[in-house]
Structure formats: structure tokens, C-alpha cells
């Protein structure tokens, strides 16, 4: 076997041009583009691991990936980064590319992930933010949204705010318990922004929390009902799922 070196890199991407992060035959994905660049550079297939798989239309600012490269093909991480960026830009850009120990894994070594969700809360749309925000015309009560999100802090079963993965018959479905470390709405210039950090997230969790937050902000859901929604452990107890374009994976923590 060829000796390999493990690489860690941070990735930013404009999700609007991709069918999500994870490789998916026949459609353009972020991982698919990076793996194609690596195959060209390394002259052999390279599989990448990421800290958080993002859905179609979701953006990345500080996604983290790891992968192994043959030492006879790659000697300098800075040069590797420039080669990948030449092949993947402008929609995908790698930075902070370094060699790491073989026990580092972008997914399993991560201790937290932080996402940001941007809402444009005003009457008129903004063409320069199209595909980057969720446009909500009716005024939002940000204090009520924060009162609601206060209830999701800490460890909870997030079945009501996520999609349970399909498992084969007889298999135990994976735990939906997650620990939320931060969850706060704030007004930043013209945008209403949700910042949420958790050890990890169940599928569609941020967009579900945002959808319910917005329903609270519009007065359709009472913020005091969140504990009951969590306790129901039923997807139908929560509000709608916010559209993907407002969501960005901001950064990932490692010890």
C-alpha cells in the first residue's frame, strides 16, 4: 500500500450551485467537486470526510474536511490547497490546509458545530441577497423568538425538530438526543440572524428550529409551548422547516 498523509482543510462554498455536500452520483455536490479535483491531483480516488453534511442550497463558511493523500503525490499542503482551489473556484474555496495526525477525523474529532441562519425581515426583497437569506415580510418579534429558543438549550431529544434517519428492519434507530450550547436570535444590520451551536445536530434540526422560531415571531406559536413540542417527540408537533438558502455552516470546534 502507498504510504499516505492525512490532510485537514477548512472549506467555504456557495451552496446555491450544489445538490448538497455529500457525494451523490449524477448531480453536482461540494464533496463530488473536491473529490474530482483530488483524483486529478493524486491520480487515484480520494474519499473525503466532513464535519457536517449540509443539504442542497445550504452554504459553508467554515466546513471542515479530512482525507488521505499519497505521500508520493502530495508533499506540501499549501501547494495542494492552491491546486484544489484552481480546480474548484469560485464556488468552493479551501483554506488552512495542513497535515494532521492519522487519528484526526473531521467528523468524529469535532466537539461542536455552529450554524448561522439569516432572515431578511422587511417588505421588499433584496436581489443582492437572493439565495443567501429567507425573506420574511411580516415583522418578527425577536424577543419572543429568543424566549422560545431558550427552551432548546441543553440536552434534549430532538425528534420533533428533525428527520429520523431510515434504518433497516430490526436495527435500532440512532439516538436523537443532542446538546445545544448556544441558540440566539439577534438583529445584525438589516438581517435577523440565528446563531446555534451544538455538539452535533440531527438532520434538518437548524431549519426546523428556525421555522418554529419564525412561527413564534409571527405570533402563530406561543414560545411557552416549546417544552411540550420537545416532549412530544413528534415531527408534526413543531412548525415548518425553513428554506435551505438562509443557512450556513459557520464553524466547527475541535479540542
72 belongs to the catalytic site? no
Residue 233 burial (CB count, 10 A) = 14
Residue 95 as a binder of a copy of itself (CB under 8 A): the answer is: yes
| From 14, 26, 55, 72, the catalytic residue | 55
User: Please, which residue, 87 or 93, has the CB nearer to a copy of itself?
Assistant: 93
Residue 82 as a binder of a copy of itself (CB under 8 A): the answer is: no
CA gap 116, 127 in Å, rounded: 20
CB of 237 to a copy of itself, least distance (A): 33
CB of 58 to a copy of itself, least distance (A): 12
Evaluated on CA atoms 179, 185, 188, 193, the torsion sign reads positive
- Listing DSSP states for 16-41 in one string gives GGSS-SS--TTS--HHHHHHHHHHHH
CB of 167 to a copy of itself, least distance (A): 35
Strands 247-254 and 59-70: parallel
Contact 136, 119 (CB under 8 A): yes
Residue 59 as a binder of a copy of itself (CB under 8 A): the answer is: yes
Q: Which residues between 122 and 161 bind a copy of itself (CB under 8 A)?
A: 123-128, 130-132
CA gap 46, 68 in Å, rounded: 7
Of the candidate spans 35-43, 120-128, 163-171, 236-244, the one that interacts with a copy of itself by CB under 8 A turns out to be 120-128
Q: Which three cell numbers stand for residue 26?
A: 449524477
Residue 28 as a binder of a copy of itself (CB under 8 A): the answer is: no
Looking at the annotation, which residues are catalytic? 55
- Residues in contact with a copy of itself by CB under 8 A are 12-14, 59, 61, 85, 89-93, 95, 123-128, 130-132, 248
Amino acid at each position: 500500500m502507498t504510504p499516505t498523509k492525512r490532510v485537514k482543510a477548512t472549506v467555504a462554498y456557495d451552496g446555491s450551485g450544489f445538490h448538497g455536500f455529500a457525494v451523490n452520483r449524477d448531480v453536482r455536490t461540494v464533496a463530488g467537486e473536491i473529490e474530482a479535483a483530488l483524483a486529478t491531483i493524486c491520480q487515484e480516488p480520494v474519499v473525503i470526510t466532513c464535519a457536517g453534511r449540509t443539504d442542497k442550497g445550504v452554504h459553508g463558511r467554515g466546513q471542515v474536511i479530512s482525507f488521505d493523500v499519497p505521500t508520493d503525490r502530495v508533499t506540501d499542503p499549501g501547494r495542494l490547497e492552491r491546486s484544489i482551489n484552481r480546480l474548484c473556484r469560485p464556488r468552493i474555496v479551501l483554506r488552512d490546509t495542513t497535515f494532521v495526525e492519522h487519528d484526526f477525523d473531521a467528523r468524529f474529532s469535532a466537539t461542536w458545530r455552529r450554524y448561522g441562519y439569516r432572515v431578511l425581515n422587511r417588505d421588499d426583497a433584496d436581489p443582492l441577497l437572493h439565495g443567501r437569506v429567507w425573506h420574511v415580510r411580516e415583522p418578527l418579534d425577536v424577543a419572543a423568538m429568543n424566549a422560545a429558543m431558550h427552551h432548546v438549550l441543553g440536552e434534549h431529544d430532538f425528534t420533533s425538530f428533525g428527520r429520523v434517519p431510515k434504518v433497516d428492519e430490526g436495527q435500532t434507530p440512532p439516538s436523537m438526543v443532542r446538546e445545544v450550547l448556544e441558540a440566539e436570535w439577534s438583529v445584525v444590520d438589516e438581517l435577523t440572524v440565528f446563531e446555534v451551536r451544538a455538539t452535533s445536530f440531527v438532520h434538518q434540526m437548524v431549519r426546523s428550529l428556525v421555522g418554529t422560531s419564525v412561527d413564534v415571531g409571527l405570533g402563530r406559536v406561543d414560545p411557552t409551548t416549546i417544552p411540550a413540542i420537545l416532549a412530544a417527540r413528534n415531527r408534526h408537533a413543531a412548525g415548518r422547516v425553513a428554506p435551505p438558502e438562509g443557512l450556513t455552516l459557520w464553524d466547527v470546534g475541535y479540542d
